[in-house]
Amino acid sequence: MMMMTVESVFTVVILLGVLVIGKSEVYIVTIEGEPVISYKGGVSGFEAIAVESDEKLDFSSDLVTAYSSHLEQRHDTLLETLFDDGNYKKLYSYKHLINGFAVHISPLQAEALRRAPGVKSVDRDWKVRKLTTHTPQFLGLPTGVWPTGGGFDRAGEEIVIGFVDSGIFPQHPSFQNQVTEPYGPVPKYRGKCEVDPGTKKSFCNGKIVGAQHFAAAATAAGAFNPEVDFDSPLDGDGHGSHTAAIAAGNNGIPVQVQGYEFGKASGMAPRARIAVYKALYRMFGGFVADVVAAIDQAVYDGVDILNLSVGPNSPPATTKTTFLNPFDATLLSAVKAGVFVAQASGNEGPLPKTIVSYSPWIASVAAAVDDRRYKNHLTLGNGKILAGLGLSPSTSPNQKFTLVAANDVLLDSSAVKFSPSDCQRPDVLNGNMVKGNILLCGYSFNFVSGSASIKKVAETAKSLGAVGFVLAVENASPGAKYDPVPSVIPGILVTDVSNSMDLIDYYNVSTSRDWTGRVKSFKAVGSIGNGLEPILHKSAPMVALFSARGPNIKDYKFEDADLLKPDILAPGSLIWASWSPNGTDEPNYVGEHFAMISGTSMAAPHIAGIAALIKQKHPHWSPAAIKSALMTTSNTLDRGERPILAQQYSGSDTMTFVPATPFDYGSGHVNPHAALDPGLVFDAGYEDYLGFLCTTPGIDSREIGNYTHQPCNYTLGHPYNLNYPSITVSHLVGTQTVTRTVTNVDEEETYTITARMAPAIAIETSPPAVTIGPGASQRFTVTLTVRSATGSYSFGEVLLKGNRGHKVRMQVVAMGYDR
């Protein structure tokens, strides 16, 4: 037990008597003593709990319950000893994955906590944000993967995926308990089901097995509004329902929006169960203290997979490394508990070093554009055809309609103050002039900020009797992203500024005006094509423009890490999935039950669902083994057998396509069928990750102990010696030899080991071949030598090719220096 002298307590209390008038904030505190997951004994009256790495900890045991209560009592005693009642508010006790708590106190009180005996770390809470169908067919799941697990009606059976997100809309058909094949109980899962305060009905139904929400930190920070954010697991945003459906939504659900059907939607593992841990909210994102509490609860409850379509706003500046903070330390313990974690890598691409998922124990997922593209076109009266986007029907065939600009059909000149060209308010436009014509609108910054929407343009045009609408982008900024939006009437978004200028020039030349500028006659005409049918491209997958890029960073100074991120590429652009009708995250889908949106938020649940399929087939595999299977079997060629491309900017607003590198796609694009049978895996466990931390330059062992409660008894020599399914040496001088160990998860097989690398770096492997029996492991080395210090990264790969058909590919990345 922690001991304090009367004098030290008195000093702190006197100090705090002055402090409590300061502005309080939320802090995450860790204290001495091991959490449940790593408790090896030593506290009188409490037996050891921690298990070996290949065993599953029983969180429901009496030993866990007793030790958890002991830790919480220590948290309360510390706070009660330091602070007067009413001068602080404890929000959470963290007991299972880290030992600590979240508390709402003033900055000076936090300083007093830092000085208190037994306190290891005190971090001010920080914000996180959301990192915002056809893909089962694109990934080959119905024909190549689901049959191996008994078909779609068994794919993911008995696997529980936890979603730390914005909640769920439980009435959606993607989440209903099916009548023909009802879901039975899952004995291993013990999560709670909250009750909807409005309907008094449980959020759970057999498909959804757990539903809880976490908002104590958001409430303490003054950000939470129960009227808007919902004081329950109900999804008030849409994001959480979308990610849950991508990973585990029911199979064959018709996607119906604006009266049209856009195919059938299915999750990657349609029979997996869903456990909801709401910690994100539509107006402000979320707070790490709430997210850590959600993760801690999810692991305690018994989830198998954890999906995090969430990340920090920037690298954490409170610790010396990106790998070590309350958030990543909690996820490290989750992996120790056997939980596979998929996290979105971030949406700040295509700039380098924009990754926000840093640690080796996490599967960091980049976003790909798949083979389905929606395009439309506008045909002008002068014969020009302008490309654009629009999920809409065409105007009447073989007929052109008059174009009328919103600014030319105002009811009153005072309407200018309402940004009439946005076409958001039908009451400021003259319906008699719009009826039967195509309404021409302008795409302003209001559409980027969310205060205007294409959905509202369509509603305005329809209410005024227009036959369609055109929305023209006149000014584009780098990073602007345009997605096609369903419309009940013909409509098109012209995204290319030069095309918009052609449209405007044609309109102005064709429109006669009087000396005041008022239109005398509208003579510009046009027609809108059919944009409802997708076009399938062979140049897929392709790395999405917005997807965050490497190199990975090891600290907030943005120094390069000896660890490749992202890990893997998965579909994340224009993904159809479930939506919450009261969600406002996407203004174009307010009131809808489905939405088509983009982001690495959409890519991560693809990997979470595929990981569930692997876990179903190989229930005893570690999280590292599952990640290895995903990474080493991934593809670096597109469907046309050409190297995968990445969307990039060409120095201006123009998007171009360049050959992708591992900093864009990690190991490559996920191949679910191959991942089920990888042949070999690069396995790693908790001790290996501790060794990685203890070997990373710039971190002292005390800081590692503060978060992991473990000493640095094990190092790797260099961080790049972590048994990871890729190799990264960010500062290669002379010659370096890297070690890796593979484990055979199939029958005996002989593998030849070859390697290739860009000319600036020489690469050799040893031995040239290995024969490995079932369950056996074999070590090999990769030697890298600088040939020329180019000041840039070189890329290559190591290939292990088995005589029974398995291929295991590992990406190699290195930058050579003279010294």
pLDDT recorded at residue 371: 67
CA dist., res. 58 & res. 66, Å (int): 13
pLDDT tens figures, 525-579? 999 998 877 776 667 799 999 999 999 998 878 899 999 999 999 999 888 888 9
Of 349-353, 354-358, 648-652, 731-735, the poorest mean pLDDT is in 648-652
CA dist., res. 267 & res. 307, Å (int): 14
More confident residue, 120 or 145: 120
Average pLDDT in the 329-357 region? Answer: 93
More confident residue, 11 or 188: 188
pLDDT recorded at residue 8: 34
| Residue 84 annotated as catalytic | no
Q: Is the dihedral of CA 382, 383, 388, 392 positive or negative?
A: positive
pLDDT tens figures, 467-498? 999 999 887 765 566 788 888 899 999 988 88
| Residue 165 annotated as catalytic | yes
pLDDT tens figures, 722-761? 999 999 999 999 999 999 999 999 999 999 999 999 999 9
- The pTM for the full model equals 0.89
Q: How far apart are the first and last CA of the chain?
A: 50
Q: What tokens appear for 542 in the block?
A: 């392709």
Give the residues across from 810 on adjacent strands: 798
pLDDT recorded at residue 18: 36
Nearest partner of 669 among 135, 130, 131, judged by Cα: 135
pLDDT recorded at residue 154: 66
pLDDT recorded at residue 2: 38
CA distances from 701 to 362, 618, 715, 716 (A): 22, 36, 11, 14
Residues 104, 134, 239, 669: which is the catalytic one? 239
Average pLDDT in the 425-430 region? Answer: 92
Q: Is the pLDDT of residue 55 over 60?
A: yes
Average pLDDT in the 651-680 region? Answer: 90
pLDDT recorded at residue 719: 94
Q: What tokens appear for 182 in the block?
A: 């009802």
pLDDT tens figures, 171-187? 999 999 876 778 888 88
pLDDT recorded at residue 448: 78
Q: What tokens appear for 782 in the block?
A: 């990769």
Run of H or E including 463:
helix 454-463
pLDDT recorded at residue 136: 46
pLDDT recorded at residue 153: 61
What does the angle CA 230 – CA 329 – CA 602 come to, to the nearest 5 degrees? 50
More confident residue, 132 or 620: 620
Q: Is the pLDDT of residue 133 over 50?
A: no
The fraction of the chain above a pLDDT of 70, given in percent, is: 90
pLDDT recorded at residue 526: 93
Task: Return mean pLDDT, the chain.
Answer: 88
Average pLDDT in the 335-361 region? Answer: 93
Q: If pLDDT is split at 50, 70 and 90, which confidence band does 374 have? A: confident
CA dist., res. 592 & res. 257, Å (int): 7
Nearest partner of 646 among 549, 718, 764, 574, judged by Cα: 549
pLDDT tens figures, 148-174? 554 556 677 889 999 999 999 999 999
| Residue 601 annotated as catalytic | yes
Run of H or E including 112:
helix 107-115
| Cβ density class 367-401: b for 16+ within 10 Å, e for less | bbbbbbbbebbbbbbeeeebebbbbbbbbeeeeeb
Q: Is the pLDDT of residue 4 over 80?
A: no
Classify 817 as helix, strand or coil: strand
Nearest partner of 270 among 616, 581, 573, judged by Cα: 616
Residues 333, 392, 601, 634: which is the catalytic one? 601
Q: Is the pLDDT of residue 591 over 90?
A: no
Q: Is the pLDDT of residue 785 over 50?
A: yes
Q: Of 414-423, 489-498, 579-588, which one has max mean pLDDT? A: 489-498
Q: Locate tokens 């969307």: which residue?
A: 647
Of 8-17, 442-451, 668-677, the poorest mean pLDDT is in 8-17
Q: Is the pLDDT of residue 418 over 80?
A: no
SS3 of 724-768:
CCEEEEEEEECEEEEEEEEEECCCCEEEEEEEEECCCEEEEEECC
Residues 123, 125, 165, 567: which is the catalytic one? 165
Average pLDDT in the 803-810 region? Answer: 96
CA dist., res. 720 & res. 709, Å (int): 23
More confident residue, 603 or 411: 603
Q: Is the pLDDT of residue 147 over 70?
A: no
Average pLDDT in the 338-365 region? Answer: 94
Nearest partner of 341 among 353, 350, 331, judged by Cα: 331
The fraction of the chain above a pLDDT of 90, given in percent, is: 61
Q: If pLDDT is split at 50, 70 and 90, which confidence band does 417 have? A: low
Of 220-234, 264-278, 405-419, the poorest mean pLDDT is in 405-419
